[in-house]
Amino acid sequence: MKLHDALLGVIFVALGATVIAFSYSFPTPRHLAYGPGMFPRLMGAGMALSGAALVVMGLRHRAALVEWPAWLSDRRLTRNVLLIPSVCLFYYLFVTSLGFHITATLLLLALLLSGEVAPLRALIVSLSVVFITTLQFISILHVPLPWGVLAPISGWFIW
């Protein structure tokens, strides 16, 4: 879906103004002319100016307020676009109970299979990526990953 540039510009101007207004709530340190609100003010001003430019450009070019992209008529492409937020939601909901290893393997497998990768190759790649990620996070970086149902055997995999 493509929103008209003028409409999108108004949204960006409003967001930029909101960021600027919120940035004034940050305390300014004594003896300094700037503080933690300076960078958000600059970003908000940039957003508002970019939004204003979009409004001007959008008013010059007449177009529909909303245009639906051509890929929405293709079921496979629509499924692939919807798969990404679905995978993120699944990970968020189940990583604690199933654990990182099972969740990540299932999700990588689903993504690879949706990309028409051969099932055996998808399984090998999924398991390999999860194994390498586990090595990096647990053994090298010492960042704990949720074990979920594999918690009873988690000691076997920590080197």
Instruction: Give the model confidence (pLDDT) of 1-58 as tens digits.
Output: 577 888 899 999 999 999 999 999 988 778 777 788 889 999 999 999 999 999 999 8
What pLDDT, on the 0 to 100 scale, is given for residue 157?
Answer: 64
Residue 17 burial by Cβ neighbours in a 10 Å radius (0-12, 13-18, 19+): middle
Question: How does DSSP assign 132-152, residue by residue?
Answer: HHHIIIIIIS------GGGGG
The pTM of the whole model exceeds 0.95: no
What pLDDT, on the 0 to 100 scale, is given for residue 131?
Answer: 93
Question: Checking DSSP bridges between strand 66-67 and strand 2-3, what pairing results, if any?
Answer: antiparallel
Cα 60 to Cα 9, 54, 57, 67: the distances in Å are 13, 10, 5, 17
What pLDDT, on the 0 to 100 scale, is given for residue 35?
Answer: 80
Local structure of 117: helix, strand or coil: coil
